[in-house]
Amino acid sequence: MGDLVVVGLGYVGLPLVAEACRAGLSVTGLDVSRGVVDGLNAGRSHVDDLDDAEIGELLATGFTATDDATCVAEADAVVICVPTPLSAEGGPDLAAVEGACRGIGPHLRPGTLVVLESTTYPGTTAEVVRPLLEELSGLGADELHVAYSPERIDPGNATYGLKNTPKVVGADDPAAQEKARAFYSRVVDTVVVASGTREAESAKLLENTYRHVNIALVNEMARFFHELEIDFWEVVRLASTKPFGFQAFTPGPGVGGHCIPIDPNYLSHRVRTQLGYGFRFVELAQEINSSMPAYVVSRIASLLNDQEKAVRGSTVLLLGVTYKPDIADQRESPAVDVAKRLLQLGASVRYHDPHVASWDVAGTTSAGEDVLAAAADADLTVLLQQHSAYDLDAIEASARCLFDTRGRTTGESTHRL
């Protein structure tokens, strides 16, 4: 018998595979992508937090990847880690979750633990996943143990990974709760037990809504503080000296990644469809944060105007096109919207990113490897992401005009968000 099957081998599933293998569990990875399966079995990683050597180490423990769902028939636990993007209606698109359930359901045996880790609205595990699995497996409620555990993967975080980040686990019956707690206790340092699946689902949405709303707050404040000619970055620095009651958030060109631009909308959609009214904080935060790329472009136009240049025909260099520093992940990166808006205004857009070999935004061109030469050649250089590989002092010295959207530079000639 196998200990674990992880369904979905991306940024969430693969770190779980790694920690489970390191804990001595027998692990199989299940993914619908033949390319992902073949790549992993050949020792190639496709996520930032695991390199090829680490994939090789996993294979040496007996890990294997497959696209054959019959593997779950031998598993004690199955964890679903598939994407839940936004649907056209603004709620979570559960097609991948439902597809995973349909794939594994017919092969489940009595006593198997099934855990959903995909971020979604409260009620998904009890109202969608459990009924579907029971129908497809033919197992009764007392034969199938279903739980929910929100993923808390932070790509590129060198301090907190899956093992040392507390793991929230919720189930709606005592047997499933204990089985889920016991399973995760073999893999992570700390398990936090929720009273049910809805509470566990909601905890993840609260975490990311908290960040979403506070980022929107500082983004809006940065805009009017600029108009008031007050250095908002200094304001944040000063407020941060208070040892209680304040947590610093900083503005930026928008929000990106797999959580902040997406997850709070699940809760907003659930409130609106089930209760009949809006979640105004989330809707306002979404409006502010999604408007930041347009604001960045308006500031770019003003800075070029100060040089007696139009956006049309000017060369604008974008530094850092990933959604967070020092990783290659570009999901929901605001850099895409910034580039597209500049192209629509007729700018010549170049980009540089040490983690991105090619960028699929039609009309942009790579600045090559020499970032200092590219900055010296551009009419305006925009720091969108503060990768540690960037020598910001040297970039400041080389650029004709530098617009820093991350508040990481200190030069008097640099313009900050």
Residues labelled catalytic: 259
The runs of H, that is alpha helices, within 327-400 are: 334-344, 371-377, 392-398
Strand order in the sheet with 113-116: 64-66, 27-30, 2-7, 75-80, 113-116, 145-148, 167-171, 191-193
Q: HSE, CB side, 13 Å, CA atoms: give it for residue 405.
A: 30
Contact 177, 145 (CB under 8 A): no
CA distance 88 to 124: 18
CA distance 41 to 58: 10
* Residues 6 or more apart whose Cβ sits within 8 Å of residue 210: none
CA distance 305 to 144: 65
CA distance 141 to 133: 10
In the block, residue with structure tokens 């423990």: 61
* Residues 6 or more apart whose Cβ sits within 8 Å of residue 239: 246, 248
